[in-house]
Amino acid sequence: MIFSSVTFLFYFLPAFLICYFAVPGTRAKNIVLLVFSLVFYGWGGLPNVVVLAVSIAFNYAMAQVIDARPEPTRLRMLGLAIAINIAGLVVFKYSGFLAENFNILLEPTGLALPVVHLPLPLGISFFTFHAISYLVDVYRRRVKANTRLDEIIVYIIMFPQLVAGPIVRYSTIANRIRDRRTTFGRVSAGLRIFVIGLSWKVLIADEVAPLANVAFDQVGTPVFAEAWLGVLAYALQIYFDFGGYSNMAIGLALAMGLKFPRNFRTPYGARSISDFWRRWHMSLSSWFRDYVYIPLGGNRNGHVHTAINLWTVFILCGLWHGASWNFIIWGAHHGAFLVLERTPFGRWLKRAPLVVAHAYTLFVVLTGWVWFRALDVHHAGAMFAGLFGLNGFGTPVAAMMTALQPLTIAMMVLGWPLAMFGLPIMKQGPLSQRVRYMLYGFSDSVVVLLLFLLCVMTVGAAAYSPFLYFRF
C-alpha cells in the first residue's frame, strides 16, 4: 500500500483518521496507530511483519539491558546489539551481493559460495536505523529505556515513516508518543502538507518519470539530448518522489500531534556538495554525522583522518541505499567532492560567483545520479558517454519523443525552479500561525483543494507507481 494509491487515500486514511480522533487520550490513540500501522505494513506480506516484530522485541530488550548495566558492560551490550542489527540488515540486503563478489575472488580455486537473494523486508534500512539510534541514545543517557513496549512499538512501526522515513530520533519524539494533543490548526496544516507532498509525487515526479525511464532503461546508447533529458528528469523525479513522501509523512504526523524532522530544503539550490548534504535527506545525513562520522573522530584529527572519515561515511551511505557497486561508487563520488571542498578549492568556491557555485554543485549532483540510477556500471558508462557527446548528437529515439508530452515539459519547467528555490513562505498576517508548518507558502485552501482533486483524478487514471525509496 502506498500513500498515492486509491486504497490508501479513500479507504485506509479516512478510516484511520476517524478512529484516531474518535478515541480519547494518548494511550488509546497509540493503540489505534499501532493497529493501523500493522495493517499498513502487513499489506506487503506477513513475512515482513515477522521480521519487524523480531527486530522490535530484540531492541526493546537490549535497551533495558544497556540502561541497567554499569560500564563497561553497557558498552559491550551496545556493541552486541548494533552488531546484531547490522547482521540482520546484511543477511537480507547484502548476502547475495557479497557472495557474488567473493565468488569472483574464489574463481581461481574452483570454489563458490551459494548466491541467495532473500526477499527484502519493506523499510528494513529505515527501521534498523531507527532502532540503532534509540539504543545509542539510551547508552549516551539522552533518553531512558522505555519500559512500555507499546510505546516502543509505536515509535518503530508508525506507518507514516516506517518504510521510507524520515529517520526520526526517539529522543525527539519520546514525549509526544506518551503525551500529545491535537488541534484544528495542526490537523489543517498537516493535511495541507500531506496534499502538497501528494502533488509533488503524483503531478511532478510521476509525470517526468517516463523521460528518465527511456534514457536509463533503453538497451542502446543514448545520444546527447537523450542523456541530458534523462538525467534532468531523474533528478526531479527522485527529489519530488522522495520529498513528496517525506512531506506526506510529516503532514500526517503533524495532524496526529507528532512532529517529524524536515527532510529536504531546496537541495538543488545548494552552492556546494557540503551544502547539498545539509539540504538533501537531512535526517539520513544527520544520522550518519552523529552516529558514524563523529564517533570515528570527525574532523578532529587532521586533514587525512577527516578525508578517510568522509569517504567511509559516504561509501556506507551508498551501501545503505543498495547492494550494488553503482551505489558504492555514488557514495565515493560524493565523498570525493566533500574531501575536495576541504582543500583550498573549498575556500575558492565560497568566494566564487553564485552562478558558478550553483553550476558546479548541479554538475556534481547530476553526474552522481547517473551512478545511482543506472542499471549497472557498464550502463552508467554509456550514459556518461551520452552526456559528454561521445554517442553523437542525433535525434532522440521515438520513445523519448513520445514521452515529451506537453504536460511533461511543463512539469520539467516548473519542477526545476521549485527544487532550487522553493516558493516564498508567508511570514506576516493573521494566517501566519495556521500556516507556519506549511511548506513553500501554499496558504490558500482553494489551491490545496484543487491540487488534491488533480491528484485524485491522476491517481484514479494512472497505473501503480511505487515510491522510489521503498526499495531501500
pLDDT by residue for the chain (472 residues), tens digit each? Answer: 788 888 888 899 999 999 999 998 888 999 999 999 999 888 877 788 888 999 999 999 999 999 998 888 899 999 999 999 999 999 999 998 889 888 888 888 888 888 888 888 888 888 999 999 999 999 999 999 999 998 999 999 888 888 777 888 898 888 888 888 888 888 888 988 999 999 999 999 999 999 999 999 886 789 999 999 999 999 999 999 999 999 999 999 999 988 898 899 999 999 999 999 999 999 999 999 999 999 998 888 888 999 999 999 999 999 999 889 999 999 999 999 999 999 999 999 999 999 999 999 999 999 999 999 998 899 999 999 999 999 888 888 888 888 889 999 999 999 999 998 886 443 433 434 444 444 444 456 777 888 888 888 887 766 656 666 666 5
Query: Could you tell me if residue 349 is inside a domain?
Result: yes
47 within 8 A of 20, measured Cβ to Cβ: no
Question: What is the rounded CA–CA span in Å between residue 417 and residue 403?
Answer: 21
**Total count of domains within the chain:** 2
Domain end: 122, 144, 179, which one? 179
- Residues 150 and 218 both lie in one domain: no
Query: Could you tell me if residue 230 is inside a domain?
Result: yes
Query: Could you tell me if residue 302 is inside a domain?
Result: yes
**What sections of 170-223 are H helices per DSSP?**
170-178, 184-199, 206-217
Residues known to be catalytic: 321
- Residues 339 and 355 both lie in one domain: yes
**Residues 6+ positions from 161 with CB-CB distance below 8 Å:** 126, 167, 168, 249, 253, 260
Alpha carbon of residue 188 to chain centroid: 25
Query: Could you tell me if residue 1 is inside a domain?
Result: no
**Residues 6+ positions from 35 with CB-CB distance below 8 Å:** none
- Residues 150 and 219 both lie in one domain: no
* Residue 395 identity: T
Query: Could you tell me if residue 460 is inside a domain?
Result: yes
- Residues 198 and 145 both lie in one domain: no
pLDDT of residue 426: 38
Domain end: 179, 206, 240, which one? 179
- Residues 151 and 280 both lie in one domain: no
| Number of neighbouring beta carbons within 10 Å of residue 447 | 15
Query: Could you tell me if residue 376 is inside a domain?
Result: yes
pLDDT of residue 464: 56
pLDDT of residue 444: 66
pLDDT of residue 7: 85
- Residues 121 and 247 both lie in one domain: no
Question: What is the rounded CA–CA span in Å between residue 275 and residue 297?
Answer: 21
Query: Could you tell me if residue 427 is inside a domain?
Result: yes
Residue with cell 551481493: 97
Domain boundaries, position 44: 6-179
- Residues 91 and 216 both lie in one domain: no
- Residues 246 and 339 both lie in one domain: yes
pLDDT of residue 471: 62
- Residues 358 and 253 both lie in one domain: yes
Domain end: 179, 213, 236, which one? 179
| Number of neighbouring beta carbons within 10 Å of residue 374 | 23
- Residues 355 and 463 both lie in one domain: yes
Question: What is the rounded CA–CA span in Å between residue 386 and residue 4?
Answer: 34
- Residues 315 and 360 both lie in one domain: yes
- Residues 118 and 223 both lie in one domain: no
> Omega into 406 within 30° of 0, i.e. cis?
no
Query: Could you tell me if residue 378 is inside a domain?
Result: yes
